Amino acid sequence: MGEISCSNGIGNGNGVNGKTHSSLNGYRKSCWYEEEIEENLRWCFALNSILHTGASRYQDIALLDTKPFGKALIIDGKLQSAEVDEFIYHESLVHPALLHHSSPKTVFIMGGGEGSTAREILRHKTAVKVVMCDIDEEVVDFCKAYLVVNREAFCDPRLEVIINDARAELEIGKECYDVIIGDLADPIEGGPCYKLYTKSFYEHTVKPKLNRGGIFVTQAGPAGIFSHTEVFSCICNTLKQVFKYVVPYSAHIPSFADTWGWVMASDTPFTLSADELDSRIKQRIKGENRYLDGKTFSSASTLSKAVRKSLDNETHVYTEGTARFIYGHGSVQKQNQA
């Protein structure tokens, strides 16, 4: 659950739930964003201001100016990305798949309405056509208006934005793609996206829409030492039932308060060394990556012993009837406290 609360800081200074803080003079006005990330565990940070709040047909939307992480996009009370560290998530999501492909010309993004995934793809010189398919037009318009960092990407003639359900769009479309990217919301109970993490979807919708040598990659939720069993391990195992070669990898995202996971899959083996990845980065990508290079990906795809063991022993296959979900389903609320 995501919650915005304000307090004047007057009182005993015990800081209950991070909502009341005292300074040396006993008074400090504060405003905080708080999200429940697990039962009995909440994550909160101070705000400079609330830039915008609204609601679309599908979800609540907020843009917050946070003190530690800059502008932060909140959807349905869950932090989606933050200005200071979103490059970690989006470079990790996009570049490994595009770099491992021999010549990625066409890319389909499931979700990605924020525009950051498209931005990173469009840095690739090989990219000829990028289709971003997001179900929520109001989120896309919101991000176009407020996320200045992605305005150039939205104006790029190689980008086609389609407002539709990604599954329906892939099923009715005739075109196949070199890379398909799942930049979807986390599978949350009662949410619209969990069906796009299932074996049937991967097998009957995604895989047939990949060109020969094509690569699929998806964000796969929390991948920390304790949190990876929520959905990361079973998404990885599910993709193993559909593709010959599957590579899970992870990175710490400070604003998410956890390690995050992605899974890359193909019927063509992933054989590039760190040096070969670096060579392709220099040849193909405009500008310099802030996070990802060959050694970083080698490290990201070398999971800890505990997580590797857990993934090796995972037997759960993600289906609509046996879905797993990450914790929580929140909404942004304002609270005024005396």
Asked if residue 331 lies in contact with residue 36, where contact means CB atoms within 8 angstroms, the answer is no
Pairing verdict, β 177-183 and 129-134: unpaired
Active site residues: 183
DSSP H helices in 241-290: 274-284
Q: Choose among 62, 113, 80: nearest CA to 332.
A: 62
Q: How many Cβ atoms are within 10 Å of 152's Cβ, its own excluded?
A: 11
Name the token pair of 285. 């990508």
**Which token pair is 25?**
């003079």
Contact 132, 109 (CB under 8 A): yes
For the chain, how many helices (H) and strands (E)? 10, 14
CA distance linking residue 92 with residue 94, whole number of Å? 6
Give me the sheet containing 41-55, strands edge to edge.
78-82, 70-75, 60-66, 41-55, 30-38, 2-7, 334-336
In the structure encoding, which two tokens stand for residue 31, read together?
A: 């405003």
